[in-house]
Structure 1
């Protein structure tokens, strides 16, 4: 024991403070505890090992305490990777006990080892009769601190705080005693007490197979109670539930200041008693407070249940309302909820009617009307769509969810868009892409604003109202008269200086059609 204390001091460990009236004295070792305490067992189980720990690492460490006979790291048969635990065998039970006391929770490769005597009897590991479950643990409590806390109530065979992938505590853990009496004693003394200033729940561990019964029915012993009066104490809660059966633990949860959180847990010894308590007390009154009593759920179960319930209600609501819900837009500003209901009430039973409003309270010009039957909505849509209401024609359609509306719009625009990236059609000869494109019936007058157009090679043409673009050719309106085409200059061509037989050189010009003209 002195060696253990010295080793603890060397590691800097500190036992968590437990708010109990008086620390119970350790129970004397029973014959069963002596049999399993190491006097006849010279093999140690070493768990929570880092994946990189090898046999020689364990041998070098344990051999410093006592002579090691053999070491075996358990590995996956296919990949030969470490399973995170090993067995270390000594020549005598005394050496094994000494190594366990000194090296338990010592870090190896950055992870504290969890050491216990190896139990070859599988019934000892699987019965769970002396296994204790602890939840609401403070984050700094590790395996060593939990072991030191519960060792005062009996011989601890195994102790573990559950951690996530990053090694952070999940807030719950397990302690296995050698006898049921020691487990019951620990539950009685520690349940509801403050462990590092945080109230903990301590109760019997229930195996996963026992949590669910046949035909999908839930088997449970732990009962959750909420909406308790603030004055309800642990004793009051016990008095309320004790008529249903033997209670192993009962606690009202409190905050850091000791004030009740108005909910608690009651753990029964028998599952039938817990079910009876839920059936009888759920919805009952306590000091004018209506109690909610149900099976205690894990947080993950509660979140999954709420998510499933929300999705079902959402799907049911849209399935029910979709063919009967009308969307309206282009509403006149004078239309409010009452007038809208009056307009559509002749078509059937209206379940809800709403004009959408701006934050300032003015109408957005849109709204919804929900009928009790799809036939009513269909008749209202056929008769009211396009009808002049006030000063505006009304638009009425079946309401769609946003995702459905977006999908419809995408499909609609996909049909309008060309299937491939098509090149622009060639412009008439001589027209520069920088020129503004006008429809055949449009006329361009000098001095009017010309919209910006994309220039050649992606550059913008800087056109100013009233300014002629570069290389501007003034068109001749008299060219359309017959017989004068030969005398007119050729549009789009320039003659060479000598006017000789050289072929004319084409030059790219900008043409602005200002009126109808004919080229001959």
Structure 2
């Protein structure tokens, strides 16, 4: 299937620092909506990126939402990236201000393993809340046919999540030794965890612009 640069599901991304790789662009934008494909041209002689890219999403609504969230809000290596919709007409598409879709911004998602049976959601929230603000209540679930109690915890920023990992990993909580690490991404590459360089850059910008409140 050919890449389409005039589709209403494709966005143009400009003012990209040449140090940003194609993989980093993917990691950045997939946190907002699933990415179908990326066209990121290189100079044929120098083999360096030319500072712009076309990113195609699965539908028009996803593309519009990315523009709404990303345009003039994210700095990468001190460059404020520009994101606009690619259309056959001049100008950008009109965006709805009543989009009810949940924002998939780069919060710090932790995976907690081997919790004691006595630990509930409120207790877990209290334990992790000592290290910083969390976005929502923890989610508790069971693995290994119900034998292994686990949870996901969502911090507002990575510094607080780093501190929680450093302080609690391999520690006894309610007589059970827990392990904590960044969770794997559900919609990214199978081996990719939260907390990489792009996650942290985007998280700082989101906090700066009040997008996580």
* Length-normalised TM-score, structure 1: 0.17
* Length-normalised TM-score, structure 2: 0.39
* Structure with greater proportional helix content: 1
**More RCO (CA 8 Å, sep 6+):** 2
